[in-house]
């Protein structure tokens, strides 16, 4: 997108270049306003709390970004998360002496399995992502209820070592934050410095030419949904460990929040573009909103409406900026 011979950059082009900076500025302004209204916002405890709460969201946002880059969407992640969380919670409930690492591994494995099935349906059978993920959402959600028999797994059924996964800390930093940071580093490297990572972008920006240039289109699509499933499985274990309860309806509707984080972070819903740095900021912005609105006495019943409006505005703004950039490019070509 970056032109090398820019003579007169239009406003929208400037916005599109400094999208991350703009988002960061918006976050800072928001924080300052909230801080003025309520002094307990920018305290170490609250910030730590907020970032910990954002960690799971941002892990899921990585996977959702991959999916959206390939022009897809995944509505089943809330259900995958619940299924993986439930099965690992039941497992540690039955074998309390199990090393928590195995619980995490089991969760990721279940997530990968769910994602692989979903990916096969989308890549091989050519089913629209929205329809396939809606259907699988039903199935995963139903399976969650079935394996648990409709019961909850509550805190006293889980060994302390399992709850430690999310609440413990290493060198004074919460495990959740560490895991999220590690995930970000891995996926940053994967997306920007490996061949497969670049192929994901290629498939998203132009599936036809990607196919013609020999990129295994179907395999990339399958990979993306499998990775999304694996990340949801990881997030499921972390979620259950953090809230110390596994329920059949865990994270219902959470996929919308994850999509919101991606859209706010500048991931183009039409595919082909999206950055790790963007979705970190998007997730943080949503985290701040969720944390700050109650602090400045906004009724919790307003949150949903506000969140929805912000998503819509972000999407429309993205579209308008893109329009401006395209128009500018077109004008330059004519001259």
Specify the stretch interacting with other proteins by CB under 8 A; choose among 52-60, 133-141, 193-201, 205-213. 133-141
- Our finding on whether 50 is near other proteins (CB under 8 A) is no
Paired tokens of 84: 């993986």
Q: CB 71: neighbour CB atoms within 10 A? A: 17
- Our finding on whether 327 is near other proteins (CB under 8 A) is no
- Our finding on whether 321 is near other proteins (CB under 8 A) is no
Shortest approach of other proteins to residue 263 CB, angstroms?
7
- Our finding on whether 95 is near other proteins (CB under 8 A) is no
- Our finding on whether 21 is near other proteins (CB under 8 A) is no
Specify the stretch interacting with other proteins by CB under 8 A; choose among 21-29, 34-42, 165-173, 317-325. 317-325
Residue selected from 134, 155, 182, 331 as contacting other proteins according to rule CB under 8 A: 134
- Our finding on whether 308 is near other proteins (CB under 8 A) is yes
What string marks each residue from 242 to 261 as x (binds other proteins by CB under 8 A) or -? ------x-------x--x--
Q: CB 253: neighbour CB atoms within 10 A? A: 10
- Our finding on whether 307 is near other proteins (CB under 8 A) is yes
298 SS3 class: coil
- Our finding on whether 311 is near other proteins (CB under 8 A) is yes
Contacts of 293 (CB under 8 A, 6+ apart): 300, 302, 303, 306
- Our finding on whether 146 is near other proteins (CB under 8 A) is yes
Report yes or no: 320 and 15 within 8 Å, Cβ to Cβ. Answer: no
Closest C-alpha to 271, from 221, 225, 204 = 204
- Alpha carbons 171 and 176: distance in angstroms, whole number: 13
**Cβ-based nearer residue to other proteins, 39 or 253:** 253
The four Cα atoms 126, 131, 136, 138 give a dihedral, to 10 degrees, of: -160
Place of tokens 């699988």: 136
CA atoms within 13 A on the CB side of 144: 34
Shortest approach of other proteins to residue 256 CB, angstroms?
6
- Alpha carbons 296 and 298: distance in angstroms, whole number: 6
List, as one string, the DSSP characters of 127-183. Answer: --HHHHHHHHHHHHHHHHHHHHTTPPB-GGGS-HHHHHHHH-EETTEEHHHHHHHHH
Shortest approach of other proteins to residue 294 CB, angstroms?
15
- Our finding on whether 323 is near other proteins (CB under 8 A) is yes
Number of amino acids touching other proteins (CB under 8 A): 45
Residue selected from 109, 127, 181, 244 as contacting other proteins according to rule CB under 8 A: 127
- Our finding on whether 57 is near other proteins (CB under 8 A) is no
Specify the stretch interacting with other proteins by CB under 8 A; choose among 83-91, 144-152, 161-169, 215-223. 144-152
Closest C-alpha to 224, from 112, 318, 103 = 112
| Residues of this chain that bind other proteins (CB under 8 A) | 73, 121, 125-128, 130-132, 134-139, 141-146, 150, 248, 256, 259, 263, 269-270, 299, 301-309, 311-312, 315-316, 319, 322-323
């Amino acid at each position: 997108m970056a032109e090398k011979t820019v003579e007169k950059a239009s406003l929208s082009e400037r916005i599109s270049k400094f999208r991350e900076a703009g988002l960061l500025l918006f976050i800072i302004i928001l924080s300052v306003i909230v801080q003025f209204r309520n002094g307990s916002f920018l305290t170490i405890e609250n910030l730590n709390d907020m970032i910990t709460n954002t960690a799971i969201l941002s892990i899921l946002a990585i996977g959702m970004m991959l999916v959206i880059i390939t022009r897809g969407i995944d509505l089943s992640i809330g259900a995958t998360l619940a299924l993986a969380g439930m099965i690992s919670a039941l497992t540690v409930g039955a074998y309390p002496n199990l090393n928590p690492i195995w619980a995490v591994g089991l969760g990721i494995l279940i997530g990968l399995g769910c994602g692989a099935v979903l990916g096969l349906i989308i890549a091989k059978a050519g089913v629209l992502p929205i329809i396939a993920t809606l259907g699988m959402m039903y199935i995963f959600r139903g399976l969650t209820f079935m394996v648990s028999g409709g019961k909850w797994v509550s805190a006293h059924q889980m060994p302390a070592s399992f709850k430690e996964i999310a609440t413990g800390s290493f060198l004074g930093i919460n495990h959740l934050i560490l895991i999220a940071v590690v995930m970000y580093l891995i996926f940053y490297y994967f997306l920007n410095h490996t061949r497969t990572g670049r192929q994901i972008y290629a498939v998203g920006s132009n599936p036809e030419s990607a196919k013609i240039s020999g990129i295994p289109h179907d395999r990339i699509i399958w990979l993306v949904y499998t990775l999304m499933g694996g990340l949801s499985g990881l997030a499921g274990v972390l979620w259950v460990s953090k809230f110390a309860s596994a329920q059949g309806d865990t994270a219902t509707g959470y996929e919308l929040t994850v999509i919101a984080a991606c859209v706010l972070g500048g991931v183009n819903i039409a595919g082909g573009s999206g950055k790790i740095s963007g979705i970190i900021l998007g997730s943080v912005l949503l985290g701040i909103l969720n944390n700050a609105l109650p602090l400045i006495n906004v009724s919790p019943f307003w949150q949903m409406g506000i969140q929805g409006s912000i998503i819509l505005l972000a999407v429309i703004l993205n579209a308008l900026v893109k329009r401006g950039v395209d128009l500018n490019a077109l004008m330059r070509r004519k001259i």
